[in-house]
Amino acid sequence: MNAMAGMSEDGPVIGTAPAPAPPSDHAADAVFDPAEMARAREALRRENGAF
């Protein structure tokens, strides 16, 4: 008996679709200079160990 009381076992299957792709753009680039933001993102990656 794996079902919870009062819950049917023939409901829809949830969580089988693949995850969407992560966004490839950066929202800050719309507000700030994209080249400056790229340098800031690279510095952040270096500071946090992602070489």
Which residues are CB-neighbours of 37 under 8 A, at least 6 positions away? 26, 28, 29
pLDDT in tens, the chain (51 residues): 566 676 667 767 778 889 899 988 999 999 999 999 999 999 999 999 876
pTM over 0.75? The answer is no
pLDDT at 5: 73
Report how far residue 42's alpha carbon sits from residue 19's, in angstroms, rounded to the nearest whole number.
26
pLDDT at 39: 97
What is the three-class DSSP state of 16?
coil
For the record, the structure tokens of 13 come out as 């299957």
For the record, the structure tokens of 24 come out as 């490839």
Contact 29, 37 (CB under 8 A): yes
